[in-house]
Amino acid sequence: MYDALRGMAIASATVLLMAFNSLGAAGSEKAVEKTAGRVQMKDALWQEFDCAIGNCTMQFPKYPDHLSEKLRLPEEGFDLKYDAYISAIDQKTVFLLLIAQYPDFVDESYARMSLEGFLNGILTHNPNNQLIFADLSLVGGHEALDFFIRTGGVYFKGRALMVKNSLYLMAMECEVQNYDEVHYKKFVESFQLK
């Protein structure tokens, strides 16, 4: 079950990035790698992960797997790079931190419009996606979008945050019967920019 949810989380990450990018992606070049980071134990289960790529820290239930991908956008003349960190608390609950790095000319001034486009892209990508709620807010002085989506028997709940030209997506994907708000809050609220 973990592999299936992990696969869905990776696929969701790719779809989310494509949906967020209103310009659309025409092709991709993939590079997958493991990454090293400092890990410090916070309690018996969760570990703090120092993410040098995103210049942030976050707690995961265990040391996360790392995937890196570059999406070539030839019509727009630039590449979109993202890194995804994925960890599971059990075989049915996956946590994801995705950091997308856009070119320097993409910035926070369009954050609200970009975050709304991001959510609309998620919802229109799969007609079975049902929006439970979505709220715009400020997190650490940056525009953020908290959302909760159900697709059949799976919940996808997360927060997207725009900082300069980087999108941070923190999300939990799980079967409906395994939803745990305490774990979700622990994960999302542990995010800190350095």
Q: Which domains does the chain have, with CATH numbers?
A: 2-193 (3.40.1000.10)
Cα(126)–Cα(123) distance, integer angstroms = 6
What's residue 29's pLDDT?
A: 30
Could you tell me how far CA 143 lies from the centroid of its own chain?
Answer: 15
Tell me the three state secondary structure of residue 102: coil
In eight-state DSSP terms, residue 36 is: -
| Closest of 81, 30, 32, 83 to residue 56, by C-alpha | 83
What's residue 24's pLDDT?
A: 28
| Closest of 80, 44, 56 to residue 190, by C-alpha | 56
What's residue 77's pLDDT?
A: 74
Ranges assigned E (strand) in 12-92: 27-31, 39-41, 47-51, 56-60, 65-73, 78-90
CA distances from 108 to 10, 26, 39, 124 (A): 25, 24, 30, 24
What's residue 8's pLDDT?
A: 42
What's residue 108's pLDDT?
A: 73
∠ CA 147-153-159, nearest 5°, is: 15
pTM of the full structure = 0.77
What's residue 40's pLDDT?
A: 37
What's residue 176's pLDDT?
A: 95
What's residue 71's pLDDT?
A: 79
Tell me the three state secondary structure of residue 164: coil
Q: Mean pLDDT in runs of 10 for the chain (194 residues)?
A: 43 44 29 36 71 91 92 75 91 92 76 83 88 94 95 95 90 95 96 94
What's residue 97's pLDDT?
A: 96
Cα(150)–Cα(118) distance, integer angstroms = 16
